[in-house]
Structure 1
Amino acid sequence: MVRRTAWGTYTRITNALRQRITAGTYAPGTRLPSEAALCAEFSVARNTVRRALSVLQDEGLITVRPGLGRFIQDDATRPRTPSEQIAANLRHQIQTGRFQPGEALPSEARLSERYAVSRSTARAALIALEAAGLVTCVHGKGRYVRQDVPR
């Protein structure tokens, strides 16, 4: 029997797990429940859970330890404020090639929707990336990954 999942269900799971991580339900350094346990909890297929976990890994909220499982990132390396968290997630995606040089970053509105924060918080994260020299702002167009960003 083939299970079908509603389109975008992985985003619901990603948001739920992100909320648990940021709220402290899953303490830093602890292991996440197994894929099988998450599949049972959310009543979805394993690929749906893997896609959600992949997003959290791309954002730097969780790490994978081969043979052991997925773990919540330690407090020492995890950003403190929501804008720092957004900036760290975007920085990680730039450094891993998810955002290529010259590619546009998500807008303030898109980031505020995705992370459930105000536009000023999203703006602060983007300004931090500009200050770090990773992003350039084109007035009226958006923010783009700089061409000379080291990989």
Structure 2
Amino acid sequence: MDSRNIPVSEDILNAACEACTSLLPAKSKEKYEKTYGVFCQWREAKKVKNLDENVMMAYFYEKAKVLKASSLWSTYSMLKSTIQVNENIDISQHKKPIAFLKRQNDTYLPKKSKVLTIENVTKFLNDAPDEIFLLIKVVL
């Protein structure tokens, strides 16, 4: 007898559905669902029924006009999880959107944070006037 044709009880289906909802991070579940909702609204507005690589490319191309590369990556990550849970589609297999997101990072120039050296601190302690900076000198 083929086990694939045996109907599954409603209790099992409910338990599976409940388990699927716990796949999204509890702390940011609302943000994930909002991102997925925006994506679904975009699909409805564009009258897109199927979800394929070209649809994802078009979505991220539009988003790239208003979002930074890091925000695009977080949107991709949230959509990857929510689409997997809600539609059982693994968008991580779509190579073009990932390549597109990587290209968006090409123009990113990280800012070097300024760090005080021992020489800077020593110079401040020796040269800064006590009338203004005494409290800061004591803390240092």
- TM-score w.r.t. length of structure 2: 0.34
Larger Rg: 2
Name the structure with the higher helix share. 2
Higher relative contact order (CA 8 A, sep 6+): 2
- TM-score w.r.t. length of structure 1: 0.32
